[in-house]
Structure 1
Amino acid sequence: MNIIFCNINWMKYYNGASAKDRPKHAGVLVKDPSDVFEQNNFRDFNGKCYGYVRSGGDILLDRHFRGVPQGAKSMKDLTIVWCAAISEEESRIVGWYRDATAYKEMISLPLYEDEYIDFSFMADAENCVLVPEEERTFVIKTSKSSARRKGAIRSNIWYAKSEYAQREFIPRVTEYIEDYRGASDMMRIKDLKDQLPEEEITGYEEALLKARELYEEENFRKAVLYYNAAREIEDTYDASYELANAYFKLNGYDEALELAEKMIVDHGEKVELVELAFMASDMVLDMEKAPRYYRRLQELEGQPLTDEEYYEYYNELQSLNRSYKQYI
């Protein structure tokens, strides 16, 4: 098992900083959470997780792993172990990516006009585990409390190449990960499909009203559960359309697109459905669907595209596809 250890700030969910989940370093709150880019390390972005660590430069994969070509820009099949300090003397394993890809140079993946995800590691969300906060019991001593021969973490990226690490520490970590049967606090979008609220729902209107309240509060994960409950009682246009929008807000673009396309078949080409299908397919750089839905949306809104306008969008999408599709 090829392993990279990464030191990041402590958070409960790593699904965006909030008043209830502020980043900490060695038990002290970070003053400016907006500067903590690892805050989204365990957010499911349409089936992927993107991991950030403050590296201070390129990750020289060929220097640390055998068989990696000189100057290699990426390396697959890695295990990325995420660690965070609870004090100046001690860190804990907070989670890991299995079958991950590491990149020599940091990638900046555009999301919206002025929003990017910066990352050095990528893995399928189904291969990522976030240990619940109260169960983070695997201790790693830091350099202040451990002799150098023990291979304690000294930098934000650590390859554990010391004799002690290879002989004792890495086998312990490997055993811990492979034997782990506990829960994961990471919210996976695909797991929401059949989930329902824990509380008993007495009717469609109750479920839909609660879903809308949660949506307005930007609690999109719980909103999905109540939309699921509403649709189980009565699969209406409103419940399905609003569910698709909740998935979109959760970065579940495949789920949003699937629902929108089904509704187009069932209800016709309503502007809001075609618009949602366009936005979802555009987010995943779908070269077949996004241009088609974009053109149809403009027609439905009474502003049909000229060939020049269409190909301007198509060429821009194609350029983004060439640069970023491999990361989506």
Structure 2
Amino acid sequence: MFVIKNKIHNCVIIGSGPSGYSAAIYSARSDLNPVICLGPLPGGQLTNTTNIDNYLGFPKGIDGNIFMENCRKQIERFNIHVLTYSVNRIDFSNKIGGIHRIFFEDEKLHLDSRGIIIATGSTPNCLGIDKEKKFIGFGISFCATCDGFFYKGKNVAVVGGGDTALEEASYLSKICKTVLILVRKNYFKASKILQYRIKKRKNIKVIFDSVIKKILGENSLEGIKILDKKEKKDYVISINGLFIAIGHNPNTKILKNQIKLDKKGYIVVSKKRTNTSKPGVFAAGDVMDPYYRQAITSAGTGCMAALDLDKYLSSLNN
């Protein structure tokens, strides 16, 4: 491979998705000749989304797979070097202007670069039950802001007892007929202000000590069977949508003890910038954003990371 042999690159992007592809386009337009490593899931989480309805510029919405394929075609127009390898580990330089080395599954293959943009995203936690992944986009979602619109006036359920779950339920209560919150424990982990907000919503019902045992439906979600641990009984509930809000895990396993991460494992970046704790290393998208996790915000931080990297490289030549 030409990109691995005795060459020092200016920009290597790890991860695809909106942040990685956006970073690739902006860095290419800055003549940084970027290399992008697509990773194990080219296109990221959006490839599991049947319809994106809230991304600017698509008045009729767009299928997630088609959207990401369009992004892939767009970076190809800029002659960006695309690698299908997954990154295994990185040796970061601690010096300004230093060279970072990226290793792949085959340790004999590596890239050297002055700049790196990490856009590896995050992975939602799953319940681990049958049909859960099969029905993603067909009644099951991990994002109310993304998919709540499709359940306007319908009955939905949210799984989880933390801040994310209650925020999802609060959002859905404004557009859905009823919202059922299923909490495994007998109490909320969420902040008091969110609990107070939930109690004020008349169309929200909470069931504590509850566990989903089965997802019902043939080709799409029709309902769920839950176990009420307190009453020791099973119940079947008909719902149109199930929102799983039991947390996300940032894809930073290869970065542990290498770069500054917060308590949840997200990359720590400078305020209003994308700079990480390592010189020449920047982060974009869900891997550094535990709050918004939207395609459009990820694309925006991808742009920011590319501009920040370009400015960093320019400073080395002054």
TM interval, shorter chain, is under 0.3
Length-normalised TM-score, structure 1: 0.21
Length-normalised TM-score, structure 2: 0.21
More helix by share: 1
Pick 1 or 2: higher relative contact order, CA cutoff 8 A, min separation 6: 2
